[in-house]
Amino acid sequence: MTLRANPWLAGVAVPPIAEAQGWIEGRSFPAEKPLIDVCQAVPGYAPPSALTQHMAAALQHPATHRYTDITGLPDLRQALAADIGRSYGLGDQPSVAAENVMITAGCNQAYCLATAALARAGDEIILPLPYYFNYQMWLEMIGVTARHIGFRPEAGGLPDLMEIEAAINAKTRALVLISPNNPTGSVYPPEYLLAALELCKRAGIALILDETYRDFMPHDEPPHALFRTHCWEGHLIHLYSFSKVFCLTGYRVGAIVADPKLIEEIGKAMDCVAICAPRIGQIAAIHGLKALDDWLHGNTGLMRDRLAALQKAFTRNDLGYEVVSAGAYFAYVKHPHRDRKAADVARRLADRQNVLALPGSMFGPGQDDYLRVAFANVEADKMPEIAARLAADAADLSW
């Protein structure tokens, strides 16, 4: 007998990162033209030594190797609530407490748990284009319809709120926004996010706001004022990750910030799926929040420098490729090969220019003109080399 997978699962595409990495599997790259990997958003350096030393010391304690509470370590929940108070300018009357926080195994799990808590098969969730592919894949797996909103490059990638409102119906459970955005890098203005939350309140749906990259904003101002709105818990679900800011991608530690009653319901799913997020990652996140402020600010500055270097490199006249939007970790780039699919362009870049990027088609329909470049993986002085290889590709008319 051949076992058959659940059709909803079998119908989901192969994970895009794994597919792209397969393009270069088994290859070696010459020293004069090494691989430039801008495929996946991962820090290219280790956590600070103060953090790894703290984690090493923690490994000596028996408790480090045990489960935590389903909702996470109390110290981390409290530390993140306090950090939100500081980062969003909540002042002496913070509206986010530890009871609003649940620690998860990364932001991907935070999204999966939150959407599973809101929607059942046959329901709908609004997912603007271009979407983060894992978010689309998960909805397909659980039988929830993703209602797409058109991409507006001329508006900096901001989805049209009127189009969103028109897409809401009796089956709609939530609107998903990511800021800074993956894949476009777009940073959504505070007034836009406030208008989106007000729209969700009027419609009686949730706003799921993923701010995985909020530590890499282009400025030091609070990202928005949503936590200062009256009864924000009634409609806002905030997702966060410690993975990028403290270079902990492999430790899987993220968070959901929401109404405590919803957190309680989500805890049922967490207990079945993972029991709790990995303790060692939680220990690292606590130390990061409490002791690594200076390092964090330096890391933010490093990413801003890389963004500036990329934008400068892309000003050369012969490039052919155009940055449509960029920020945090990502640039969404329009390629010059108008008659070619994005997957073909990305494969050719990998084969001929030793640049591994993701095609826009992995981020939804209508995205064949674009590539995603995870520039944060690359040192600032390497940005001109990326531009030079893209210019060489644009000039190469042999297909």
Query: pTM higher than 0.85, yes or no?
Result: yes
Residues 255-270: tens digit of each pLDDT: 999 999 999 999 999 9
pLDDT of residue 397: 80
Mean pLDDT of 126-135: 97
User: What's the mean per-residue pLDDT of the chain?
Assistant: 94
Mean pLDDT of 341-367: 97
Residues 185-223: tens digit of each pLDDT: 999 999 999 999 999 999 999 999 999 999 999 999 999
Phi and psi angles of residue 209, each rounded to the nearest 5 degrees, phi first: -110, 110
Contact 293, 274 (CB under 8 A): no
Q: Which residue has the higher pLDDT, 62 or 397?
A: 62
Query: What is the percent of the chain where pLDDT is above 70?
Result: 100
pLDDT of residue 396: 86
In 10 A of CB 60, how many CB atoms?
A: 7
pLDDT of residue 115: 97
Give the architecture-level CATH label for domain 63-291. 3-Layer(aba) Sandwich (3.40)
Q: Which residue, among 162, 134, 135, has the nearest Cα to 149 in the 3D structure?
A: 162
Residue 2 confidence class, pLDDT cut points 50, 70, 90: confident
Distance CA 46, CA 104 (A): 22
Mean pLDDT of 66-76: 96
Q: Does this chain's domain 12-41+295-395 share its CATH topology with 63-291?
A: no
In 10 A of CB 295, how many CB atoms?
A: 18
- List 102's β-bridge partners, or say none: 256
Whether the predicted pLDDT of 1 surpasses 70: no
Residues 222-261: tens digit of each pLDDT: 999 999 998 899 999 999 999 989 988 889 999 999 999 9
Residues 343-354: tens digit of each pLDDT: 999 999 999 999
CATH class (in words) of the domain with range 12-41+295-395: alpha beta
Whether the predicted pLDDT of 144 surpasses 90: yes
Phi and psi angles of residue 246, each rounded to the nearest 5 degrees, phi first: -110, 15
Contact 10, 216 (CB under 8 A): no
Q: Two tokens at 396?
A: 């190469």
Residues 262-316: tens digit of each pLDDT: 999 999 999 999 999 999 999 999 999 999 999 999 999 999 999 999 999 999 8
Give start and end residues of each alpha helix (H) in the chain. 7-10, 16-22, 49-58, 74-87, 106-118, 133-141, 161-167, 190-203, 260-273, 279-291, 293-313, 342-348, 383-395
Number of H helices, E strands in the chain: 13, 13
| Domain spans in the chain, listed from the N-terminal domain onward | 12-41+295-395, 63-291
Residues 160-188: tens digit of each pLDDT: 999 999 999 999 999 999 999 999 999 99
